[in-house]
Every structure is written in structure tokens, then in C-alpha cells.
Structure 1
Amino acid sequence: MARGYKAPSNYDPRKKKGAGKFNNKRYRPEPSARPAPTPPEKGAPKREAPERRAPRIPTDEVYAPLPATTITAAEAEGVSFADLGLGPRIIRELAKQGAETPYPLQVATIPDALAGRNVLGRGRTGSGKTIAFGAALVERLFLLRGKRGRVEGRAPQALVLAPTRELALQIDRTIQPFARAIGFFTTQLYGGVPAARQREGLKRGVDIVIGTPGRINDLADRGTLDLSQVVITVLDEADIMSDMGFIEQVNSILFRTRPSGQRMLFSATLDSQVRGLVERYLPNPAVYEVADDRAAIDHRILTVRRDDKDAVAAQLAGSGGRVLVFVRTKLGADRLVEAFAEHGVTSLALHGDLTQEQRTENLDRFQSGKVDVLVATDVAARGIHVDDIRLVVQFDPPIGHKTYVHRAGRTGRAEASGTVITLVTPSHRDRMRDMLVEAGVEAHVQPASPGGRELDEFAQF
């Protein structure tokens, strides 16, 4: 052996060419000198098997856009909910909610959902996503299981995940009548409130769970919530859950459900942030999107001096009708409510520092029309589904084009029209234009000043 030569760690002289009896496929290495493990004593507790862990979902990979089948309003004309396969009890509940005929997204997705396929649906706020997956979920669960008995402690068989408490509650208000008509029970699981009452509800038994990833994951970790019987899972606004840092919690939850279960994912955008979940948990999905109907929304950029922003925003907020104002921070929301009051405009704030009771009360007052102006942060406002919002004012410009899309989707719901106005200082005007290009939105740009006649056209007379 050459001087200074160091044999590799896997070097075995018995396997080199000409090594005789050792150079054959029957060779087995000699037993290790390590002593055999001592068998456990009689009566000793068994060693638990290592816990199964959900594989990590990559969020830094770049994926191609998800190809989708586009459906137009013309293709949905003349189609009824009965044509889609929904039963008479659910159709009666839909009529009570004012849903006489299905929207295009519902026409596209409900038949595949009832057939048990994995489904992805893209449509802006107001396109009927909640009814699309809610009615299909209840009908499909009935087809699979029939009317279940009220067995105490029964594990849920369907699950709906939402990014915020407000959205979870609104989803439940839509789905609960369908479920009761069939004989199923729903429960809501979300953070910010004591978990004791939620645990008691699970002990009584439930069929459909609707909630947020954090609380659902926590209850599952503690053994209070059994997800192993879940055969249908819906992710509503999955891209927002990814933006909010919930992707691993969602991954962990999906990993606990039936591997062969059906999954549905609905959102205003379907991009690479959710592709990792799709690749792992939604094989061979049916993917649909509604033909671009953003023409119903008038997009405007108003350039204003920084010192004039409060006055211009107050003039817009007080222009009549229901107005939603977006700000970037919680402190900013509270400050703007006070600034509006100084200009004679009554408003309420909605953000994460408020208690759940305060958030619910403020949102209810806005929905009922007791207060026409709501000032909200993005985290709180992502769960707002309110009809008849005439005007969205972005006091603070969004941080990205996806945020713009979600904010804008709060107005112009369904067949209604709406206006989105973004206030920017002159130095940020070009940056805002670039963001709109990414969002695929065309906007009219004009200067504005407090009391200016250019703001009169936004008033509701």
C-alpha cells in the first residue's frame, strides 16, 4: 500500500477482485459484535411507536400556473341546482337564502364535487364559493353516510378550514341550514375564545367542523379532536392561509385526515403558494375559474398630499352607502376612526387587538347598517363577506397585488357594481401602477384634494 494512502471508510478487502468465496452474492457480513437487545421484562410497558409526522410542504419552489377550465356566465344560463345533482331539501334551503339559480362557479364545481373528485375553484369574492362547496359538501356527505345517528362523541367526517374567525363564522351561517335539513350538526373551532365550550361540543358529537388552522391543530394535538374519520376537507382562501403563515398547520391537519378522502380548495387566486398542497393532497383535481368579471368594479388611484389624506379619506367615507376603509396597522385603524370623527364621520374599527366580542359586535353593526363605515386591517378584513359594500377605500396601499385583489373583492359582489379607490402620495404613484399590472387591473389615475370637485362623483346621491 502506498505510503500516506488512507483507505476509504467503506473499503472491504474481502470484496476486491479475486477475493474467493467472499466475492459472491450469497455472502453476508459477520454478525456485529454489538450485544443483542435485552427483551423487555414481563409486565413492562410497551415502547410506543414513533409518531407519524406530516411531510414538509415546500413553499419556496416555483411552480407553473395551475391550468384551469374557464366558465362564463352564458354557460350557466338555464341551469338549475337540481340539474347539478343537489337534493330537494338543500334546494329548499338555498331558496330561503335567496339563491334561486346557481352562479357559474357553482355550475362548474358542484357536479364534480358530488362525484367525489378533488376540486379547485378560483373566483373573486361574491362569486358563490361558499355555497359551491357548502351545498356540495353536505349533499356528498349524505350520499356517503346517509343520516347519521346522534351518537355521543362521534368524530366529524367533514372539515372546512378558513383563515380567520370571522370567515369561519360566516361559512357556518351558510352551511348550518343545509346540514340541519339533512340531520347533520356543525361546530365552529377558532382561537381567541376559551376552548372549554368547544371541547364540550366535540364530546357531544359532531358531523362537520368549521374553523381556523391554529385551534383545530391544537385540539387535534391534545387528542380532543379526532380527524381520522374526515372524508371531505375544504380549504377556503388557502392562499391567504399561506400568506398568514398557516401552511404547515394546514399540512399537519390534512395529514391527519383520511388519505383517500376528498379535498376541495377555493380561493380568489390559485398560485404557487398553494401548489405544494395540491401536489401532495389533491391528486388529479378538477380545476375551474370564473371568466374575468372585474369589469363590474371601477378602479381609481387618487394622488394626494400626505397632509391631506385624512380629509380626503373622510370625504370619501362620508359620501353615502356602505364604505370599507383599509389600513395597514391596528394603531392606524384606531387613529383613523378618531380622525373620521373629527370630520363628522362615524366609523368603527376591526383589527386583531380587539376582543372577539368587540370584533363580532362591530362587524354586526356594519352588516346591519347601524354604521356605514368600517376601518379594517387586512388580517381582520379577510373574513368580511358583506353585501352591498359600495366603496372600498385603501387609505394605505396594499403590500402586494394579491392583497389588492382580495381587498377589491369586497365590493362588486355577484352582479353588483362597486368602486375601489387607492390613496397614494405622488412619489408612490408609479409603484402602485406596477402593482396593478401584476393584479391585471386597469385604473384611472387623477389628483385629489380635500373638498375638491373631483371627489363629488363618488358621492351617492
Structure 2
Amino acid sequence: MPKRKGSGGFKAPKHYVPRDRSGAPQRAARDGGARRDEEPRGDRARRSAARDARGRRTGQRSDEPRRESVRRDTRSPRDAGRGRDDERRSGDRHANDRAPQASPFREDVVLARLESTPLTPEQTAGVTFPDLGVGPNLVDTLADLGAETPFPIQVAAIPDAIAGRDVLGRGRTGSGKTIAFAVAVVERLMTVRAPGAEGRKRAIGRAPRALIVAPTRELALQIDRTVQPLARSVGLFTTQVYGGVPQSRQVTGLKRGVDIVIGTPGRIEDLERQGHLDLSQVVVTVLDEADQMTDLGFLEPIQRILRKVKPGGQRMLFSATLDSAVLRIVDEFLVDPAVHEIADDDAAHSGIEHRVLVVDRGDRDAVLQQLAGSGGRVLVFTRTRLGAEKVVGELADGGVKAVALHGDLSQIRRSRNLADLAQGKVDVLVATDVAARGIHVDDVRLVVQADMPDEYKTYLHRSGRTGRAGHRGTVVTLIPPSRRKRMSELLERAEIDAPMLPARPGGRELDEFMS
């Protein structure tokens, strides 16, 4: 018998070609093979279910983030753990930027919108927060937050929510959804007090009575910045629970006793399983970005969470693109919900101008650099984490200082980079889609989509980062000439009118973006 070389195991012949179960050749990503983010959604779901089953057999948590990159992770174990968050479930994945891709897009389907009670802006004119049933403490706090008069989605949703009715609310990003459910949660808790609770006295170690679930840690922190001052004004307390950081501080906060918990599905389930978070007394549950959470694979965790809260409690679902993706949640957990959206929602965003620039591949980096350095706050979107870091480096080479926001960064780095943008230390932030869900900066002047979005929902969420709170903004998408047709189809699904213009570095098409 020939002697084996090395430490044993199978040694592939020189011309060996690995094959899958069907006998078809397998190709590595560097050879142009299909990447995981090109798999049909149903296939991905089956693969995820199989991994969950294996995890249960091996004792691994089914929601534990798993690395999806084939490249070696050279970070320290501590830093690597920080980067593993809810974004691992998303379509924001590592990719080999140099590899030829058969098709980086998946099918983009427009789901039917849920039937709603439309409310026109004219119907909301002159309405005040007291008219909606909001108490004086909250009214004063809202004024301190800069919300002196309610937005249309708030006028529509708050009365039903305060009355205890289940609510579905749809409004574009920046339309005021967070204040809508924040006010409703606080007012509802003051109406339905815990047994034995009087005035501002709250028992140490008490279980929370309201739960707000968000897909990402940044969005959870953003929500808390709105909810916390409102809750404190009436003697209620909040805490945030999310992955990517040690749980010790979060456990300590829960032990002190809180009234409202704001968190991500994975960490909520973790703490509940460990006995640190008691969901049995939760009477109000809010799902923010509800349909996006189902798209990211959080449907089953959300169902498990909702089955653990107090039966018969109130449920509220809010999103910028609320559609039939959430029907399974609605059918199981909501009773006769009020569905609200603004009939002329696009009019509220008339301050956003949309442009598509058709750029040759060789000119893309120079055009992107010119746009990013045009002055004011600029937000650049890329499809992958590696792409975000690459753009930051290219901008730096051109003299434009930028920072990144993506799932491979530690929570400290992510928070610091967001703070640098908000405080004006840098004007350019390069972000991936899921990580950017928590960006809440009112004066972003320009959104640049360096990579064309995969889906129309992604376009709407990206564009909602500008034109907020009455400010004007511009959304520019860079595409190669070969993507004209697909971009036109995506804009049609998003119900966006945007001219397509050829552009080159230093051309007149870019002059208007220079401040």
C-alpha cells in the first residue's frame, strides 16, 4: 500500500473536481460560483432550518450568529465576538469584490399592501397632541424633543393605540413612526397600571410591562433615545438589550426593575431563556420594522417571543413598507387591528429629489469621490462590509475623510463612528443596509447608493435617511450602463420618479451637488 503523505486524510487528485449531491460540479466563490446571497429565499430557509436542527443536537443556540465568510477571521476572539450581531442574518454578507458574479440580485417581488384607513394631510391640519389624548408631561417632553405638533402618522395611530387597540402603522422612514408608538406605549402603561403600583413608586426587580423589538442594535438605541425621556417624564424606566456586547450590564439593569424593554430578538430570547428577562407581565408589544424582521429570518423568534408575553395583550406593528409579509404574525397575534397609513405619504417626502447616474465602471470611483466630497453630511451605501471598507479607503486616498458602519465592527467602533457623524467630526459615513437602520441624523444632505439596491424596499429605507424632519435631501444611485433596465423596474416598484443621466468625473451632471 502506498504510504500516505502528511497527517492523513483524503488527498485530492490533481484534476479532482468536487461535486454536490446531484453530481454537478461545485465551484468556489473565487471561480464565479453562486454565493449564499444568490440562493433562492426558500433554499436559504431550508438550509437555516437544517442548521438550527444541528444546533439543537449539539447544544448550540439556534439563533447564535454564524460566520458566513469563507475568509479567515484574523481578529482576536474578543473583537470577533463583538462583531457577531443580528446583522449576520441579513443579506449584508462578505463577498469577493474581484470575482465575476453571475447575478448579484434576487427576485424583487412587490407584496400586496394591507388594507388600511387612509388619512390625508389635510385631515391632520391643526391637530395637537392633547387632541390625541396625550398627557401634559408627555406634551412638554415632546416639545423639548422638537415635536411640537404631530405628524400625520401620529395623528392616525396614537388614538387607537392609547385606547388599547392592536395597530398596524405604515409610514416612510422619517415620517414620525417612533414617536407614534413611543407616546402610545407610555400612555398605555399609565392607563393600565401594574397591580399595587401607585404614583411614581416602582418595585425593585419588577418585570417589564412593555416590549419594543427592533431588527438591529442601532435601531434599538435610536428608539430608546426617543422613548426614554417620555418614560422618565411620568416615572417609568427603560433599558436596552442587544447582542454584540457582554450581557452583564443589561442583566444588572433588568434586576433593578424596568417598565419598558427595547431590544433585538436574539438577545431578548437569550435573556429570557436564562431567566433574566420575565416576559409574562408584558401587556404592550411593539415590532418596529416588522416586515423587515420577517425578511431577515426573525419570524420564528418573534413568534416565540409573542407567545411568552401576557395573553390578550396589545400588539403594534410599524414599518416603512408594511405589507403581506407580516400576515402570519397578524393572523396569530393581532385581534381586529386598526391599519393606518398616510394617503399622500409621498407628498410628505416631496423634499427628496431622486437621481440615477449612469457611470462607466472605470469612472465610478472618481464620481463617487466627487459626490462624497461635495460638502455637508453624505451617507454612502454599499452592499457588503468589504465594499464599505474599500470605499472608505478610496475616499481617504482622494482626501475625503469617511468612517464605516457595518457588522464586522465592534459596538464601540460603531457607536463612535455614528457619534462622529452626528457631531460633525466627519461628514461622510459609508454603511451597509442593515447596520444603517439605526441612523437618525436629520440633516443628511445627500444619500449616494454606490451599489444599486437589491430590492425596492431597500431603496425606500436608504432614501429615508435624508429629507427628514422637514429638511430637503437628494438620493443619487450609481449604476453601470448594463443596469438601466433593472433600475427602471426597481424604481417602478418603489413608485419613485428619477431621471437617468449619463455622468463622468468633472461633468456638468455633478456640478449641482457641489455645495
TM-score of the two chains, using structure 1 as the length reference: 0.85
Match of 1:282 in 2: 334
Identity of aligned residues (%): 63
Instruction: State the distance in 1 between where 2:111 and 2:437 align.
Output: 25
Give the CA deviation at 1:281. Answer: 1.1
2:192 aligned with 1:144, yes or no? yes
Instruction: State the distance in 1 between where 2:199 and 2:317 align.
Output: 25
Instruction: State the distance in 2 between where 1:253 and 1:305 align.
Output: 48
Match of 1:13 in 2: none
2:386 aligned with 1:334, yes or no? no
2:208 aligned with 1:156, yes or no? yes
Instruction: State the distance in 2 between where 1:162 and 1:308 align.
Output: 38
Give the CA deviation at 1:296. Answer: 2.4
The answer to whether the 8 A contact 1:157-1:229 is kept is yes
The answer to whether the 8 A contact 2:357-2:478 is kept is yes
Q: Deviation string for 1:7-43 (max 9, x for gaps)?
A: xxxxxxxxxxxxxxxxxxxxxxxxxxxxxxxxxxxxx
Question: What root-mean-square deviation, in Å, do the aligned CA atoms of Structure 1 and Structure 2 show?
Answer: 1.4
2:124 aligned with 1:69, yes or no? no
Aligned equivalent of 1:238, options 290, 293, 306: 290
Match of 1:174 in 2: 226
The answer to whether the 8 A contact 1:117-1:285 is kept is yes
The answer to whether the 8 A contact 1:301-1:422 is kept is yes
Summarize the alignment of residues 396-411 of structure 1 with structure 2, pairs less than 5 Å apart: 396-411=451-466
Instruction: State the distance in 2 between where 1:391 and 1:72 align.
Output: 28
The residue type paired with residue 333 of structure 1 is: A
Instruction: State the distance in 2 between where 1:114 and 1:235 align.
Output: 16
The residue type paired with residue 220 of structure 1 is: E
| Cα distance change of structure 1 residues 223 and 62 upon mapping to structure 2, 3 Å threshold | farther
Aligned equivalent of 1:361, options 393, 416, 419: 416
Match of 2:425 in 1: 370
Instruction: State the distance in 2 between where 1:211 and 1:448 align.
Output: 43
Match of 2:243 in 1: 191
Which moved further from structure 2: 290-299 or 254-263? 290-299
The residue type paired with residue 297 of structure 1 is: I
Instruction: State the distance in 1 between where 2:334 and 2:471 align.
Output: 33
Aligned equivalent of 1:209, options 238, 261, 266: 261
Which moved further from structure 2: 440-449 or 241-250? 241-250
SS at 1:91's partner residue?
helix
Q: Deviation string for 1:336-381 (max 9, x for gaps)?
A: 0010011111110000000000000000110111111000001211
2:144 aligned with 1:96, yes or no? yes
Give the CA deviation at 1:72. Answer: 2.2
The answer to whether the 8 A contact 2:172-2:345 is kept is no
5+ residue gaps, structure 2 = 1-108
Instruction: State the distance in 2 between where 1:154 and 1:459 align.
Output: 54
Instruction: State the distance in 2 between where 1:414 and 1:274 align.
Output: 28
The answer to whether the 8 A contact 2:205-2:257 is kept is yes
Instruction: State the distance in 1 between where 2:333 and 2:159 align.
Output: 20
The residue type paired with residue 480 of structure 2 is: T
Instruction: State the distance in 1 between where 2:330 and 2:422 align.
Output: 34
The answer to whether the 8 A contact 1:153-1:202 is kept is yes
The answer to whether the 8 A contact 1:147-1:184 is kept is no
Which structure's CA Rg is the greater one?
Answer: 1
2:359 aligned with 1:304, yes or no? yes
Instruction: State the distance in 2 between where 1:63 and 1:344 align.
Output: 43
Instruction: State the distance in 2 between where 1:320 and 1:347 align.
Output: 12
Give the CA deviation at 1:219. Answer: 0.8
Match of 1:123 in 2: 171
Give the CA deviation at 1:295. Answer: 2.8
SS at 2:233's partner residue?
helix
Give the CA deviation at 1:416. Answer: 2.2
Instruction: State the distance in 1 between where 2:287 and 2:162 align.
Output: 17
Give the CA deviation at 1:414. Answer: 3.3
The answer to whether the 8 A contact 2:442-2:471 is kept is no
Give the CA deviation at 1:64. Answer: 4.8
Give the CA deviation at 1:63. Answer: 7.5
Instruction: State the distance in 1 between where 2:286 and 2:439 align.
Output: 19
Summarize the alignment of residues 409-420 of structure 1 with structure 2, pairs less than 5 Å apart: 409-420=464-475
Summarize the alignment of residues 31-110 of structure 1 with structure 2, pairs less than 5 Å apart: 64-110=112-158
Instruction: State the distance in 1 between where 2:490 and 2:251 align.
Output: 44
The answer to whether the 8 A contact 2:442-2:469 is kept is no
The answer to whether the 8 A contact 1:63-1:275 is kept is no
SS at 2:316's partner residue?
strand
